[in-house]
Amino acid sequence: MMSLLKSIHSGKEYSLDEVRFTADDGELLDVVHDFEQVKQQYKISKEYFAKKRSQINGQPSGGVWHFKELVMPEINDDYIISKQEGNTRLYRSKKISSWLGLSAERFYLKHEGENPTGSFKDRGMTVAITIAKYLKQQAVTCASTGNTSASLAAYASEAELPGIVLIPKGSVAVGKISQALAYGTKTLVVNGDFDDCMRMIQEAQEKLSAYPLNSINPFRLEGQKTIIWEILLQLGWKVPDWFIFPGGNLGNTSAFGKALFEAYQLELIDRMPRFAVIQAEGASPFYKAYKNNFLELKKEKAETIATAIKIGAPVNYPKAVRALKWTNGIVEAVSDEEILEAKAIVDSAGIGAEPASCATVAGLKKLIGKGEIKSKDTVVGILTGNILKDPQCIVDYHFNKTTPLANAPHSIEASIDELKRFL
Ligand SMILES: *Cc1c(COP(=O)(O)O)cnc(C)c1O
Q: Which atom of ligand 1 is nearest to the CA of 356?
A: 11
pLDDT tens digit string along 211-234?
999 988 999 999 999 999 999 999
CATH of the domain spanning 90-118+220-399, picked from 3.30.9.80, 3.30.70.100, 3.30.950.10, 3.40.50.1100: 3.40.50.1100
For residues 350-373, average pLDDT: 98
Residue 18: exposed, middle, or buried by beta-carbon count in 10 A (0-12, 13-18, 19+)? exposed
Please list, in sequence order, all residues whose beta carbon lies within 8 angstroms of the beta carbon of residue 411, skipping any fewer than 6 positions away: none
- Domains in the chain: boundaries: 90-118+220-399
- Residue 270: CB atoms within 10 A of its CB come to 9
- Residue 72: CB atoms within 10 A of its CB come to 26
For residues 394-407, average pLDDT: 92
**CB distance 113 to ligand 1 below 6 Å:** no
Q: Which atom of ligand 1 is nearest to the CA of 389?
A: 13
Query: What percentage of residues in the chain have a pLDDT greater than 70?
Result: 100
Please list, in sequence order, all residues whose beta carbon lies within 8 angstroms of the beta carbon of residue 340, skipping any fewer than 6 positions away: 305, 355, 358, 393, 397, 403
392: CA distance to ligand 1 center in Å? 19
Residues 314 and 302: their CA atoms lie apart, in Å, by 11
| SS3 state at 195 | helix
pLDDT range class, residue 54, cuts 50, 70, 90 = confident
Q: What are phi and psi of 67, to 5 degrees?
A: -105, 30
Among 64-68, 134-138, 168-172, 329-333, the minimum mean pLDDT is found in 168-172
pLDDT tops 90 at residue 209: no
pLDDT range class, residue 171, cuts 50, 70, 90 = confident
356: CA distance to ligand 1 center in Å? 7
416: CA distance to ligand 1 center in Å? 46
What kind and span of H or E run contains 406? Answer: none
pLDDT tops 90 at residue 99: yes
368: CA distance to ligand 1 center in Å? 23
pTM check: above 0.85: yes
**CB distance 250 to ligand 1 below 6 Å:** yes
For residues 133-148, average pLDDT: 94
